[in-house]
Amino acid sequence: MGLSRHTRAGVLVLMAVISAAIPCLIAEAVLRAIAPPPDTPGLFITTDTATDYIGRPGARGRISGAPVAFNRFGLRDRDYAVQKPAGTVRILVLGDSMTFGVGVEEPRTFPRVTETLLNQSSRSPAVEVHNFGMPGYNTLQELTVFEDVGARLQPDIVVLGFLYNDLELSSDQRRHLEQRRASTRVERSASNARLVRVGVASHGSSHEGVTARVDTTIDFAKRHSLFLSWAAPRLAVLLRPLGVRGIGLLGDVNAQFVDGNPEWRRVQSEVLELKRLCDHRDARLVVLIIPAMTRFKEGAYPIRPYHEAVSRFCAASSIAYLDLLPSFWGMDGMRMWISPTDGHPNAEGHQIIADALTRFLQPLVTEAARRHDATRLPE
């Protein structure tokens, strides 16, 4: 007796699924075979400040296949004296994994290349560039590490490497912030004799909840499948000209950089606090606007509004800024990834950043050297 029509249809569907799954599984196996080895465990320690964590002082190992060594401050840099050498212009570069140089050897990271280029210039005094980048850091953590360590080093220039995901708080930071907000709401209610029950976590609409769950599911899948991590950004490049958004980059980045978003307002206040601290120490703050490493051409680059929002804020706040987007425009940023599934820039990408940053910093270094000469006591 032959198979029924529904059974035959089911068999065909099953065969189609298996046929589609086999290439995906092969690709997953290949990507895992060529992936860098796991990161060295124990390279980071927790802190009791808003930084949450930092490098273990003196630790050595590998992250994303590249060798990493931390100095006595827990930073990916050489050891140096707290006291700035006479006649030296000192530059601190705050940032996240892009500044840290994940997957790139330390001499080829953009802070170190920038130092080399500035010191090769006949117009420049002696320059030190110190890398304060840390994987996963956001603006609050970068502000805190400057307060904890950076301010003691008497910097002349502070570069804040800013990336589109810097609005994201860690779970501990968000919990503490929500607790403070909840406490404030309770106090306000009590003062009005209208004490109400206030929950720590806010609840959005059902649509927002579904969207959050979908985003979380996609994020989980990409973190556990190298094939999905490889496929998602490439699929996004193909679909963006058709008007499809939200693939390849988690969430709607552009919608976050609007005045109505409290997280963007919070980050603005943190940058302004960093500027205040720099001004108090006669240091110049520069915001370095770092792009997403995708295809840099019209219709393909998805987050121009992010660049425009950060640029407008810096201009309105009298903060010097350098938008790196023009330096990469016309290139294929995906060819500069450190691996097929990791969008951090490789050494070529760091060189492009260093070239642009060096040109921008050169007059500021000269200005800082003149300030040193003006304040130096006559012999």
Taking only the tens place, the pLDDT of each residue in 315-356 is 999 999 999 999 999 999 999 999 887 889 999 999 999 999
The answer to the question of residue 345 being in a domain is yes
Of 131, 136, 134, the closest CA to residue 173 belongs to 136
Find the range with the poorest average confidence among 119-123, 130-134, 266-270, 281-285: 119-123
Please tell me which residue, 244 or 300, carries the higher pLDDT value.
300
Q: pLDDT band for position 254 (50/70/90)?
A: confident
Hey, what amino acid is at 223? R
The answer to the question of residue 181 being in a domain is no
Q: pLDDT band for position 174 (50/70/90)?
A: confident
The answer to the question of residue 49 being in a domain is yes
Please tell me which residue, 340 or 167, carries the higher pLDDT value.
167
Q: Which tokens belong to 9?
A: 């249809």
Q: What is the pLDDT of residues 291-318, one digit of tens each?
A: 999 999 998 898 999 999 999 999 999 9
Per-residue 3-state assignment (H helix, E strand, C coil) for the chain: CCCCHHHHHHHHHHHHHHHHHHHHHHHHHHHHHHCCCCCCCCCEEECCCCCCEEECCCCEEEECCEEEECCCCCCCCCCCCCCCCCCEEEEEEEECHHHHCCCCCHHHCHHHHHHHHHHHCCCCCEEEEEEEECCCCCHHHHHHHHHHCHHHHCCCEEEEEECCCCCCCCHHHHHHHHHHHHHHHHHHHHHCCCCCCCCCCCCCCHHHHHHHHHHHHHHHHHHHCHHHHHHHHHHHHHHHHHCCCCCCCCCCHHHHCCCCCHHHHHHHHHHHHHHHHHHHCCCEEEEEECCCCCECCCCCCCCHHHHHHHHHHHHHCCCEEEECHHHHCCCEHHHHEEECCEEEECHHHHHHHHHHHHHHHHHHHHHHHHHHHHHCCCC
The answer to the question of residue 187 being in a domain is no
CA distance 55 to 42: 9
Domain containing residue 89: CATH number: 3.40.50.1110
The number of domains in the chain is: 1
The answer to the question of residue 87 being in a domain is yes
Residue range 250-279: mean pLDDT, rounded? 91
Q: What is the pLDDT of residue 39?
A: 86
Q: What is the pLDDT of residue 236?
A: 56
The answer to the question of residue 247 being in a domain is no
Domain that holds residue 355: 44-167+255-375
Q: What is the pLDDT of residues 96-124, one digit of tens each?
A: 999 999 999 999 999 999 999 999 986 76
The answer to the question of residue 248 being in a domain is no
Q: What is the pLDDT of residue 225?
A: 66
Q: What is the pLDDT of residue 316?
A: 98
The answer to the question of residue 197 being in a domain is no
Q: Report the predicted TM-score, pTM, of the whole model to 2 decimal places.
A: 0.77
Q: What is the pLDDT of residue 200?
A: 28
Q: pLDDT band for position 216 (50/70/90)?
A: very low
pLDDT exceeds 90 at position 190: no
